[in-house]
Amino acid sequence: MENILSVLGTIIGVLGFFLAVFIAIRQVQSEERQKRNDRLMFLADRIFDSSIPRELRQPFYEEYISMKGNGTAVRFWQLEGEREKKTQQPA
């Protein structure tokens, strides 16, 4: 009877250990995703900030693209570039 209880206790202990490792890995992955989302939001804020000259916002845009960012920030950047080209062309 004692052997069965010790084997059962060992099995439960090993399963508990693997569960704890699995939970720790999932938590780290979740934190990495959150830090990535925070960085993308920061970069998008800089891209949308028209008070900063476009040349100085370029590195933020490039990092945003390199992190696979897309959506309104990219579209804003493209529209702003098109607008600047139109205003620089002589009439």
For the cut 80, the answer to whether the pLDDT of residue 1 exceeds it is no
pLDDT band at 2 (very low <50, low <70, confident <90, very high): confident
What does the domain layout of the chain look like in residue ranges?
A: 2-27+38-88
| CA–CA separation, 91 and 79 (whole Å) | 20
* 48: enclosing H helix or E strand: helix 2-48
pLDDT band at 59 (very low <50, low <70, confident <90, very high): very high
Residue 43 confidence (pLDDT): 94
Residue 76: both structure tokens together: 């804003």
Average model confidence (pLDDT) for the chain?
90
- The reply to whether the predicted model has a pTM over 0.85 is no
pLDDT band at 33 (very low <50, low <70, confident <90, very high): confident
Check the CA dihedral 50-56-58-62 and report its sign: negative
